[in-house]
Amino acid sequence: MNKQKVAIEDFANIRKLGSLTLSPSGKKVALTVTEGSLEDNGYHTDIWVYDEGHTPALYRLTAGEDGKAPVFLDDDTILFPGDRKKRHTGNAAEKETVYNRISLNGGEAEPFMVLPFIANSLTLVSDGVYLVGGMRNLSIPDLSGLSESDKAKALKDLEEEKDYEVFDELPFWINGRGIVNKKRQGLYLVNTATGEQKLLTADYFDLHGFTLNEDHTKVVYWGNEYKSLNTQKSRMFVYSLTDGSVSEVPLENRYRVGDAQFVQGKLVFAAATGEKYGSSENPAFYICGDDLSFTQLAAPDPSFGGVGSDIAGGGDSVSGGDAFYYVETKGYHSVYSKLTLEGKVETVADDVNIISCAQGKDPLIFMIGMEKDSPQELYVKKDGKTEKVSAFNKEYMDTHETAHTEHFTFLDSDGVEIDGWVLYPGDFDSSKSYPAIFDVHGGPQSAYGEGFFHEMQYWAGLGYIVFFCNPRGSSGKGGAFADIYGDNYGVRDYNDLMEFTDEVLKRVPQIDSSRVAMTGGSYGGFMANWIIGHTDRFAAVASQRSISNYISKCLTTDIGYYHNLSAIQADPWSSPEKMWAHSPLAYADKAKTPTLFIQSDEDYRCWMGDAIQMLQALLMHGVPARMCLFHGENHELSRSGKPRHRVRRLKEITSWFDQWLHRCE
Per-residue pLDDT reduced to its tens digit, 454-479: 999 999 999 999 999 999 999 999 99
- Mean pLDDT value across residues 247-260: 94
Q: How confident is the model at residue 107 (pLDDT cuts 50, 70, 90)?
A: confident
Does the domain at residues 403-661 carry the CATH identifier 3.40.50.1820? yes
The answer to whether 275 and 256 are in contact (CB under 8 A) is: no
Rounded CA separation 244/262 (Å): 18
Kindly report the average pLDDT of the chain as a whole number: 93
Range from 33-37, 72-76, 362-366, 513-517 carrying the lowest mean pLDDT: 362-366
Q: How confident is the model at residue 94 (pLDDT cuts 50, 70, 90)?
A: low
The single-letter DSSP state of residue 562 is: I
Rounded CA separation 608/653 (Å): 18
- Mean pLDDT value across residues 38-43: 96
Rounded CA separation 346/142 (Å): 50
- Mean pLDDT value across residues 523-543: 98
Phi and psi, residue 577, nearest 5°: -65, -30
Rounded CA separation 367/335 (Å): 10
Residue 19: pLDDT over 90: no
pTM of the entire predicted model: 0.95
Q: Nearest to residue 326, comparing CAs of 272, 364, 283, 389?
A: 283
List 616's β-bridge partners, or say none: none
Determine the pLDDT at residue 230: 58
Residue pLDDT, tens place only, 357-398: 998 887 789 999 999 999 999 999 998 899 999 999 999 999
Residue 83: pLDDT over 50: yes
- Mean pLDDT value across residues 246-272: 95
The single-letter DSSP state of residue 560 is: I
Residue 644: pLDDT over 80: yes
Determine the pLDDT at residue 320: 62
Rounded CA separation 256/208 (Å): 11
Residue pLDDT, tens place only, 553-567: 999 999 999 899 999
Q: Nearest to residue 79, comparing CAs of 59, 55, 61, 56?
A: 61
Residue 90: pLDDT over 50: no
* DSSP secondary structure, 564-589, as one string: IHHHHT--TTT-HHHHHHT-GGGGGG
Instruction: Give the Å distances, CA to CA, from 431 to 5, 508, 510, 663.
Output: 22, 11, 7, 17
**Which of 359-381 are b and which e, b meaning 16 or more Cβ less than 10 Å from the residue's Cβ?**
bbeeebbbbbbbbebbbbbbbbb
Residue pLDDT, tens place only, 388-408: 999 999 999 999 999 999 999
Sign of CA pseudo-dihedral 422, 424, 429, 432: negative
Determine the pLDDT at residue 151: 73
Residue pLDDT, tens place only, 270-305: 999 999 998 889 999 999 999 999 999 999 999 999
Q: How confident is the model at residue 316 (pLDDT cuts 50, 70, 90)?
A: low
Residue 66: pLDDT over 80: no
What is the H or E stretch that residue 346 is in? strand 345-349
Sign of CA pseudo-dihedral 497, 503, 507, 508: positive
Determine the pLDDT at residue 232: 57
**Which of 410-429 are b and which e, b meaning 16 or more Cβ less than 10 Å from the residue's Cβ?**
bebeeeeebbbbbbbbbeee
Number of H helices, E strands in the chain: 12, 39
What is the H or E stretch that residue 495 is in? helix 492-507
Determine the pLDDT at residue 150: 77
CA atoms within 13 A on the CB side of 140: 23
Rounded CA separation 386/351 (Å): 7
CA terminus-to-terminus distance, the chain: 29
